[in-house]
Structure 1
Amino acid sequence: MFEQMLTMGFRPNVSTFVTVIPICARCGAKHIGRSLHGSAVKSGALSDQSLVSALITMYAAFGDTHVARAMFDELVVKSAVAWNAMISAYARTGDPDECFGVFRSMMVADDVTPNLVTFVSVLPSCCALGFRCAESVHARAIKCRFSRRVHVGTALVAMYSKLGDIEAALRVFRAMPEKNLLSWNSIISGLVRNGLWDAGFAAFHEMRTSPDARPDSVSIVSVLSACARMEDPHLTASVHAFCVKNRLDACVSVSNALLESYVECDRLSISIQLFDQMVARDLISWNTLISGHVKNSGVDAAIALFKRMFHAGIKFDVVTAIGILPCFHGDKELALGMSIHGYSIKTGYASDVSLANALISMYCSCSSVEDAELLFHCIPSKNVISWNSLLTGYRNNNLYNEAAKLFDCMLSENQKPNFVTLLNMSPICKTQLQGKSIHAYAIRTGAVSETGLLTSLMRMYNRFERFDLCRALFNTGDKTNVIVWNALLPAHSNAVLAFDEMRRADVKSDVVTVLELVSACTEIGNLDLVHCVTSYIHRSGFWRSTCIANALTDAYAKLGSISMARAIFEDIETKDTFSWSAMMNGLGIHGDGIAAIDVFERMKSEGVEPDEVTFIGLLSACSHSGLVEEALMLYNSMIEEFDVMPRREHFACMVDLLGRAGRLNDACELVKGLPFRPSPSMLESLLGACRCHGNVELGEEIGRWLVESDGCDAGAYVVLSNVYVGAARWGECSRVRFGMDGRGLRKVAGCSFV
């Protein structure tokens, strides 16, 4: 219309400019706004303060506060409209210091008085300046008799709520003679923001019965936020019913708040149903449900929903990527993770450091550490989370040397380690000195008070058999916390006494406590203690825990009571892979390989997928029972049928099996063809087989490999000397014994649990 007006020959006046310039600000038409400014200067209309105020507001919307301030300072006589425009300009661009400075200059000016708009404009900026500025502006509003006006009162309520002084916000709200919808929403959101969820609900109920206003979508979103924090599904359902009754559920923001609230209340099925019923969804809807699946360990469902979102043409953002990336593990998800990385680079999201950190974690989880390192070095401004992400990846992939080097590099670049950093470093310390250095740094920074780090340090000292230091750390911890006691149990010289001490302290046990106790009894080798622990498990209600039942199955099998182990195994309602593996391993220990294979067949018939641990137990059982052909068949099916790649432990079982069966040449060929260097224990097993079957030549070759290896101990020399004794080659026997003495090795006396 303005352009048509110009083409018809009409000249714009002040009223025309004042009308059109704000439209340029709203539309972001910067060039048109500047040309209108030029036209106003040319026509001499800038003498009108209302036009100057409109231009100040426009330039503030464009972010050009310097131009706006220059125009404001050029005014000889400044009206309240001009002052308000400048205050609003600084408030809009997020410069609270300048905003308050202009307000203070206005207060000392002789020719102007603040009005309602002045206070509404300046009060939001006081949130960033603290109570002193907030209370001074409030005092001025009282002096000017504006504090009880609805708009100023609402701004005061919002200001005090954001400052955390909810009592002051309530006093202002109660003193307001008139309230509107914005006032009610401000006090409700303020109460919820400050954690007063019950009070927020009470205010919402009062609002419903008040004649001043009816709840709208903003009110509902605030109340649903309280439902989510309280994790109360019944309140969420009540608010949901209110939304349906008042036709507020069609609003996307309300539907998203309902989704989040049901997710936080562990009602994911309702969230899915609500999501499918939504007429209109936005990106927040998808992100909320994806994070809900991740929160409830529905990794496959989260990935499926992400793919569905992608096929629906919804472009994801940084929040989506950060939410879905933790779901990716292994080679299968690596390709999808890399595609997200590629899309992030294409859209410019890759510059976000939080997303880069999530991508580093994803690459490490998918065992692609090289890609994680490459991405890490490409981050221009790393934060401590970036370092921790790669450090955690190194630790999870057993790259302890690389982790130690990264930690040193982190210190050399003046990046301060935090609690997570130290938590990653304490389990990988190779020496007590390294562990004590981590401990000392934790004390210096105060991080040692964190329960997670304290227990990690306790376990570290337990690994070095420094039980005194472990106990000293325990004494500094929170003795009402079961996690601290759980860390003490494996380090205590008598775990049963420590458990008794824990019970006397009235600390309630958890699943980890019981697992540590069962493990300690197994290590002690006392079957009576395991019977006592089993009784405690029955009485304490832990009996239905699958992991505890698995531990008991393993304990009874190792302590000789295979019948009890089998009874516990059969009583497990939901057997997992570890249940079947524990039973098979127990049967293998007792030399019943046929029964172990029968259990394996049952496992397959019930649809449970075996893993690498399952096959270690099976092959070991076959080895103890001399089932060579069966073991070879299982070994082949492991690779071909179940796609489980053999690890060092599988090769060790096969070497032991072939050696026991006297197929020494086959075992030797297997060792020579290994994709890694054979361990000393594997070579010792083969050497022992050579002694049993009297193969001196092969025993000499294996013995030479062992002596040349770094991990050779006295046992290898003893077995090799016994090989020579069996062949009556006393000279070679003496030479081996002499070599053993020369290296300062002494045979450790054996002992038996029986």
Structure 2
Amino acid sequence: MRMLAIRDLARTVAAKANTVMALKLCRRLSGFIAGANSRCNRLSDVDKFSLLFQNCTDVRSLKKLHARVLTLGLGRDVILGSEILICYASLGVLCKTRLCFHGFLNDDLAQWNSVIVDIFRAGYPEEAILLYRGLKLRQIGLDEKTVTFGLKSCTELRNLLLGKGMHADSLKLGLNRDKFVGSSLVGLYSKLARMGDSQKAFEEILDKDIVSYTSMITGYSENMDSTSWNAFEIASDMSQSNLEVNRVTLVSLLQVAGNLGAIREGKSVHCYSTRRGIGVSDEVLGTSLVHMYMQCGAYQLASASLKNLVQSVASWNAMLAGLVRTGQSGNAIHHFSVMLHEHKVVPDSVTYANLISACAELCNSGYAASVHAYLIRRSIPLDVVLATALIEVYMKCTRIMSSKHLFDQLVVKDLVSYNTMIYGYLQNGMVNEAIALLKEMVAECVAPNFVTILSLLAAIADHKDFVRGRWIHGFSIRHGFFSNVDIANQIIRMYSGCGKITSARTIFASLEKKNLISWTVMMMGCLFCGHGGCF
């Protein structure tokens, strides 16, 4: 528009024979056109480099591209800056992320926020936190978007210390009452099982929306304790605030009801969803419904709900898992047959794992072997979940070599598969093999957990094996398990069972926190060793 105005004015001036003025206006027009062309080329360069950065896969090429961007004077472009940051982060070069951002256009908070959001959404929360810190160091200021995505990054990393620091920032700026910041605080504290702090952050939000309420309810669904009942009160407040409950809220409420065995509340959620027509044909909601009823021991209601749902493998898996968990493994096998032949639902690896677990419960290695053979015939790959389930049933049925063969075939062995194998060896009295597998586990950089050590100690204590028990004691100290009171109690039981009452008393005395089991084990040990008067 401006270019057309200058051109028209030049023609008018020329018509009036003012040649000098016309030439000046023509030069100005030429300069404007050149500038416009330059800007068009620049936009073209930005698009071109953005594509190159998105496809860059090595640090050397990235550095060359970055240098070229700087040479062409594009280093202060915020769009390119975001792409460069994401590329450096994806290749693990953290120090460069701060350096290249410092070359951006200017100290504009909106631009910083844009890049922090881009970096977080690209899956690099560590870099988002580095930028948050850089923003504070420059004293540009913070707003609700900065703090929200800073808190989301802390949640991803489960970093309570940094999260508390950002919470303090929000309090100083009065942002803690913002619904986005408040919901992020609720999410952070819920993820770290600090439901008291989460509830407090929720109560401080001024203008609560559906996200705020759902974040709080979801937090209670993920943290099973006595305070989880608050989820139903929050849902009631939400309804009174004329906010429409959505599918995510209902799924979380069903999960809370299942965890607490609160069948009345679960039925209320079911009725609400039916009245409002929410999730009638929704697979996730339907599966949550079946799962909730099975957790509450309401098999008939779960079965009725399953019949009314769109048939999916997930809802059938919830039913099968519930039946196995409640000791109805025979019924689980029957339901599998119904699922397969009447409803023509195609099973997945979770279905087969549930079926194999049912075989383990029934000690039916023949049926498990049939399932195993079926998987082989259908060329269904044995992933770690299926293989571990088969290992468990074979071990339980004393088919040790079958278990070992399956375990050895696993390409990737995880903690669960190692623990299953170790526990199977111990069940069959093969302590040496279990310890050898523990050593292999450590050598393969798979960290044992307290379940691994506890099962080994319990078996060794039962066998009154002092030599192996002392080795496990040393192992638990070296790997930081001795601070666990349950493990310490098993070590006391092992030493006293082996007649080493002095060692048992030394460990008992060193315990900072003794529970009832600690005292009971120590007293029983003293009685066993003929030191009944030691207490």
- What residue is the counterpart of 1:609 in the other structure? none
**In 1: Cα distance, 2:528 partner to 2:174 partner:** 73
AA aligned opposite 2:113: P
Relative to structure 1, is the Cα distance of residues 58 and 181 closer, same or farther in structure 2, using a 3 angstrom cutoff? farther
- What residue is the counterpart of 1:357 in the other structure? 489
**In 1: Cα distance, 2:113 partner to 2:433 partner:** 61
Find the partner of 2:292 among 159, 162, 177.
159
Relative to structure 1, is the Cα distance of residues 387 and 113 closer, same or farther in structure 2, using a 3 angstrom cutoff? same
**In 2: Cα distance, 1:89 partner to 1:330 partner:** 41
**In 1: Cα distance, 2:206 partner to 2:440 partner:** 62
- What residue is the counterpart of 1:345 in the other structure? 477
**In 1: Cα distance, 2:486 partner to 2:159 partner:** 33
- What residue is the counterpart of 1:73 in the other structure? 203
SS of the residue 1:266 aligns to: coil
Describe how 1:286-297 pairs up with structure 2 within 5 A.
286-297=418-429
| 2:257 aligned with 1:126 | yes
**In 2: Cα distance, 1:252 partner to 1:63 partner:** 29
Relative to structure 1, is the Cα distance of residues 46 and 294 closer, same or farther in structure 2, using a 3 angstrom cutoff? closer
**In 1: Cα distance, 2:221 partner to 2:183 partner:** 15
Contact 1:97 1:129 in 2 (8 A): no
AA aligned opposite 2:481: Y
Q: What displacement does 1:233 show?
A: 0.4
Contact 2:485 2:514 in 1 (8 A): yes
Relative to structure 1, is the Cα distance of residues 354 and 5 closer, same or farther in structure 2, using a 3 angstrom cutoff? same
SS of the residue 1:350 aligns to: coil
Find the partner of 1:116 among 230, 244, 247.
247
AA aligned opposite 1:56: V
**In 1: Cα distance, 2:448 partner to 2:220 partner:** 33
Find the partner of 1:173 among 289, 303, 306.
306
**In 1: Cα distance, 2:313 partner to 2:173 partner:** 44
Q: Tell me, which stretches of 5 or more residues in structure 1 are unaligned? A: 410-754
AA aligned opposite 1:88: T
AA aligned opposite 1:120: V
- What residue is the counterpart of 1:610 in the other structure? none
Contact 2:178 2:205 in 1 (8 A): no
SS of the residue 1:281 aligns to: coil
Contact 1:341 1:359 in 2 (8 A): yes
| 2:113 aligned with 1:12 | yes
Tell me which of the two structures has the higher relative contact order, counting C-alpha pairs closer than 8 angstroms and 6 or more residues apart.
2
SS of the residue 2:278 aligns to: coil
Q: What displacement does 1:331 show?
A: 13
Q: What displacement does 1:52 show?
A: 4.8
**1:185-224 deviation per Cα after TM superposition (whole angstroms, max 9, x unaligned):** 2111111112221221233334445888643332232222
| 2:324 aligned with 1:192 | yes
Q: What displacement does 1:359 show?
A: 1.3
Relative to structure 1, is the Cα distance of residues 273 and 165 closer, same or farther in structure 2, using a 3 angstrom cutoff? same
Contact 2:333 2:355 in 1 (8 A): yes
Contact 2:496 2:526 in 1 (8 A): yes
SS of the residue 1:195 aligns to: coil
Relative to structure 1, is the Cα distance of residues 26 and 6 closer, same or farther in structure 2, using a 3 angstrom cutoff? farther
Relative to structure 1, is the Cα distance of residues 45 and 244 closer, same or farther in structure 2, using a 3 angstrom cutoff? farther
**In 2: Cα distance, 1:54 partner to 1:141 partner:** 27
Contact 1:56 1:71 in 2 (8 A): yes
Contact 2:231 2:256 in 1 (8 A): yes
Describe how 1:263-278 pairs up with structure 2 within 5 A.
263-278=395-410
**In 2: Cα distance, 1:313 partner to 1:41 partner:** 43
**In 1: Cα distance, 2:250 partner to 2:213 partner:** 11
- What residue is the counterpart of 1:215 in the other structure? 347
SS of the residue 2:482 aligns to: helix
**In 2: Cα distance, 1:41 partner to 1:391 partner:** 52
Find the partner of 2:334 among 202, 216, 220.
202
Q: What displacement does 1:298 show?
A: 2.9
**1:245-270 deviation per Cα after TM superposition (whole angstroms, max 9, x unaligned):** 45555422222221111111221221
AA aligned opposite 2:217: I
Describe how 1:452-601 pairs up with structure 2 within 5 A.
none
- What residue is the counterpart of 2:456 in the other structure? 324
Contact 1:83 1:102 in 2 (8 A): yes
- What residue is the counterpart of 2:21 in the other structure? none
SS of the residue 2:356 aligns to: helix
AA aligned opposite 1:86: M
Relative to structure 1, is the Cα distance of residues 294 and 261 closer, same or farther in structure 2, using a 3 angstrom cutoff? same
Q: What displacement does 1:58 show?
A: 3.6
Relative to structure 1, is the Cα distance of residues 211 and 21 closer, same or farther in structure 2, using a 3 angstrom cutoff? farther
SS of the residue 2:156 aligns to: helix
Contact 1:306 1:324 in 2 (8 A): no
Identity of aligned residues (%): 28
Relative to structure 1, is the Cα distance of residues 242 and 24 closer, same or farther in structure 2, using a 3 angstrom cutoff? farther
Contact 1:56 1:68 in 2 (8 A): yes
TM-score w.r.t. the length of structure 2 is 0.64
AA aligned opposite 1:172: S
**In 2: Cα distance, 1:391 partner to 1:52 partner:** 51
- What residue is the counterpart of 1:144 in the other structure? 276
Find the partner of 2:217 among 75, 80, 87.
87
AA aligned opposite 1:114: V
**In 2: Cα distance, 1:355 partner to 1:108 partner:** 49
Q: What displacement does 1:329 show?
A: 7.9
**In 2: Cα distance, 1:11 partner to 1:148 partner:** 43
Contact 2:155 2:188 in 1 (8 A): yes
Describe how 1:346-495 pairs up with structure 2 within 5 A.
346-383=478-515, 385-390=517-522, 393-394=525-526, 397=529, 399=530, 402-403=531-532, 405=533, 409=535
**In 1: Cα distance, 2:255 partner to 2:462 partner:** 49
Relative to structure 1, is the Cα distance of residues 20 and 196 closer, same or farther in structure 2, using a 3 angstrom cutoff? same
**In 1: Cα distance, 2:171 partner to 2:251 partner:** 31
Q: Tell me, which stretches of 5 or more residues in structure 2 are unaligned? A: 1-81, 86-96, 119-144
SS of the residue 2:448 aligns to: coil
**In 2: Cα distance, 1:144 partner to 1:165 partner:** 23
Two-structure CA RMSD over aligned residues (Å): 3.8
Contact 1:188 1:203 in 2 (8 A): yes
Describe how 1:239-258 pairs up with structure 2 within 5 A.
239-245=371-377, 249-258=381-390
AA aligned opposite 1:217: S
**1:684-740 deviation per Cα after TM superposition (whole angstroms, max 9, x unaligned):** xxxxxxxxxxxxxxxxxxxxxxxxxxxxxxxxxxxxxxxxxxxxxxxxxxxxxxxxx
**In 2: Cα distance, 1:210 partner to 1:179 partner:** 11
**In 2: Cα distance, 1:276 partner to 1:30 partner:** 40
Q: What displacement does 1:140 show?
A: 2.4
**1:274-319 deviation per Cα after TM superposition (whole angstroms, max 9, x unaligned):** 2222222223333322322222233444444445545556543322
AA aligned opposite 2:263: F
Q: What displacement does 1:70 show?
A: 4.7
Q: What displacement does 1:390 show?
A: 4.3
Relative to structure 1, is the Cα distance of residues 353 and 245 closer, same or farther in structure 2, using a 3 angstrom cutoff? farther
**1:373-418 deviation per Cα after TM superposition (whole angstroms, max 9, x unaligned):** 3223444554554455445545655x2xx24x36xx5xxxxxxxxx
- What residue is the counterpart of 2:155 in the other structure? 25
Q: What displacement does 1:137 show?
A: 2.5
- What residue is the counterpart of 2:191 in the other structure? 61
**In 2: Cα distance, 1:310 partner to 1:32 partner:** 32
Larger mean Cα displacement after TM superposition, 179-188 or 320-329: 320-329
Q: What displacement does 1:97 show?
A: 2.0
Relative to structure 1, is the Cα distance of residues 138 and 256 closer, same or farther in structure 2, using a 3 angstrom cutoff? same
